[in-house]
Amino acid sequence: MFDSSNAGGDASHLMWQSGRRERVFKGPIFDVCTVVRTSTDGRCSTFIEVESPNWVTVLPWYRREDGKPMFVMVDQFRHGSSTVTREFPAGVVEKGEDPLVAALRELLEETGLEAKSVKLLGNVSPNSAFMTNRSNFYLVEGVRLVSSQNLDANEQLDVFSVPVQEVIENMGSGIYDNGIMMIALGFFLREAHKRPELLANE
């Protein structure tokens, strides 16, 4: 059987020491580097790292007039999958920008909304196997429409209000096919465990 005696304990024997790092590709949205690393048992190899700006995802929550909890979401074409996906407003943190400021900026640019309250739900590595950036997730409440969209040159988004329960039932399938949004929903459900009113109809 597997040894559970050290679960959550000392993991120093798993750490690899970093050596020479070299940038082999510089692109508009990410760079690629190689890094030489050596394990504690003496193995040495070259690995790939993708350096990308940090990301933000914003979950705009409100309660409809009939008491149903809703999310504001956007539909857009994604060039990696060549499909249209439904997502929470999201984007990159610009150099020197605070992630919270970036989140509210992306919300305003993509939807025209401002929020009365903001809470950081979590901050994780989107793919620790080879990516070096972090992804931040914010719940915003008390949203109100204050402007039209202010999109980047190559952005084209449709904005929708979607019942929270519909998002929960469909996330990870069909148009809800962006894995980062699954992470966002996981953080939301953890928050809803503490605040059941986020899921309840009134």
Tell me what pLDDT residue 201 has.
95
| pLDDT tens digits for range 86-118 | 999 999 999 999 999 999 999 999 999 999 999
Domain boundary assignment for the chain: 12-51, 55-198
Rounded CA gap, 182 and 34, in Å?
29
- Of the pLDDT bands very low, low, confident and very high (cuts 50, 70, 90), residue 199 is very high
pLDDT score of 8 more than 80: no
Tell me what pLDDT residue 9 has.
79
3-state secondary structure of 103: helix
**Could you tell me how far CA 6 lies from the centroid of its own chain?**
31
Q: How many CB atoms are located within 10 Å of the residue 29 CB?
A: 7
Please state whether beta strands 31-38 and 113-114 pair in parallel, antiparallel, or not at all (unpaired): unpaired
The CATH H-level (homologous superfamily) assignment of domain 55-198 is Nucleoside Triphosphate Pyrophosphohydrolase (3.90.79.10)
| pLDDT tens digits for range 142-170 | 999 999 999 888 889 999 999 999 999 99
Tell me what pLDDT residue 81 has.
96
Tell me what pLDDT residue 152 has.
84
Tell me what pLDDT residue 118 has.
98
Tell me what pLDDT residue 176 has.
98
pLDDT score of 77 more than 90: yes
Per the CB < 8 A criterion, the answer to whether 134 and 120 are in contact is: no
Residue 56 burial (10 A CB sphere; 0-12, 13-18, 19+): buried
Residue 59 DSSP code: E
Tell me what pLDDT residue 173 has.
97
**Mean pLDDT score of the chain:** 95
Rounded CA gap, 188 and 180, in Å?
13
Q: Which residues contact 113 (CB under 8 A, 6 or more apart)?
A: 60, 72, 107, 140, 143, 144, 145, 146
Residue 65 DSSP code: T
Rounded CA gap, 55 and 125, in Å?
10
